[in-house]
Copies of this chain bind each other. A is one copy, B any other.
Amino acid sequence: MWMDTKVEVEEGGRRSSSRWWRVTGGLLLCTGDMEHLDKFMQEMPFVLQLAEWGLRGVSRVIFANNPLSGALILATLCWASPWQGLLGTLGVLASTLTAVITGQDSAEVSGGLHGFNGMLVSLLMGVFSSAGDWYWWLLLPVCLGSVLCIFLYTGLSPLLDRWDLPVAVFPFNILILLYLLCTGPDNPYFPHYLTTPPGLPEHNGTELMAVEVTRGILLGVGQIFACEALGPSLLILGAVLLYSPLLVAHALLGSAVGTLAGLSVAVRHDSLYSGLSGFNGALGCMAIGELFFTYSWRTHLFAIASAFISAYSDIALSNLLGTVGLPACSWASTLTVTLMTGSLAAYRIPIGQVMAPEHNLRSRSEWEAADRESTDV
């Protein structure tokens, strides 16, 4: 029912004009990729278009592609911390604008593909800064970093194209490490916190609390936006639900798998409670399970495997980078998904046709129906 949004709405309108149908229809119009918006936006002024591209970019961070999800996420971030909200908005706008000015592919720009790296760089610069909120000088590296994301994107794109791999969040991961390395913890202009590796043994061995761990699984979704509060994490989950309920299921499943992986090698409790153990698993699970592949039990298995590999790699990389005080960001899930995309090429949906998982599901059943028909004839 969810999948055939437009068709159902039209039919529903014809069948009955009750108030219920109109409300559901309106809601359903806001779900999925909202492709119908594109035609409508083409006649709008540039500022509104830019806003739509930016909001799509915000939702792209969590593998969604829906401006309303993006708006809800941005509002949530502003609620959790207005300063972080400002940085995120600036980042996504700066990188989208740079992409427009340097003349990148317009389909990519309007799909928000040039916004999410800039947003992530900005958010993480804000989170790691030890100069406190509203430290205005931080806007300089934030803008520079967002602009450089586009340069890195266009530089990496031809390299990865050889294997038909997406650039994903490689620019963000590279830039945030370079920024943190450039400015040490004691930098007079841009000081930042050192990261503690998750494998560091704890001396005051407290009991592990099940409630806190469960909370950590939910926080794992918020950590994708570097947000460590329960309310905002739930709202972000709600925003993803608007795009696709299947994606929410995979996000929670991946976060749980990541937390399980963390438990199995005894990482610090802190890391479990804050959701840091879970977010790479969530990213790995969402990417494989939903966006790249059609839905089948095999894809489901691969998604869980991807979550486990992402989570273990993240612990390993965090321990390695933690020796020099650096975070592992989402290197683990990005590398895992890149490698798995290569190995699962046979099951993959062509990059241009990736849409909301529900849509992919429908296409698959449609394809099969089409296949059956052609066989019958």
Contacts and interface: CB of A to CB of B under 8 A. Distances in A.
A368 to B, nearest CB: 21
A208 interface: no
A193 interface: no
Contacts of A181: 199, 315-317, 319-320
Contact of A187 (B152, B177, B266): B266
Given A181-B316, A316-B178, A320-B181, A155 B189 contact: no
Interface string A189-200: 110000000011
A177 B319 CA distance: 11
A309 interface: yes
Contacts of A157: 342-343
Interface stretch (A3-11, A81-89, A158-166, A218-226): A158-166
Contacts of A190: 265
A288 to B, nearest CB: 11
A188 interface: yes
Interface in A148-194: 148, 151-152, 154-159, 162-163, 177-179, 181-184, 186-190
Contacts of A178: 312-313, 316
Contacts of A188: 201, 266
A264 interface: yes
A340 interface: yes
A162 B162 CA distance: 9
Contacts of A264: 189
A345 interface: yes
Identify which of A148, A156, A162, A343 gathers the most chain B CB atoms within 10 Å of its CB. A343
A154 B189 contact: no
Contacts of A158: 163, 342-343, 345
A103 to B, nearest CB: 10
Contacts of A339: 151-152, 155-156, 159
A319 B184 contact: yes
A188 B159 CA distance: 42
A351 interface: no
Nearest to A188: B266
A27 interface: no
Contact of A155 (B162, B324, B343): B343
Nearest to A332: B178
B151 A340 contact: yes
A323 interface: yes
A29 interface: no
Interface of A: 148, 151-152, 154-159, 162-163, 177-179, 181-184, 186-190, 199-201, 264-266, 305, 309, 312-313, 315-317, 319-320, 323-324, 339-340, 342-343, 345
21 contacts: A148-B309, A151-B309, A151-B340, A154-B342, A154-B343, A155-B340, A158-B342, A158-B343, A159-B339, A162-B162, A177-B316, A178-B312, A178-B313, A182-B199, A182-B265, A183-B265, A184-B199, A187-B265, A188-B201, A189-B265, A320-B324
The 4 closest A-B pairs by CB, nearest first: A155-B339, A181-B316, A154-B343, A155-B343
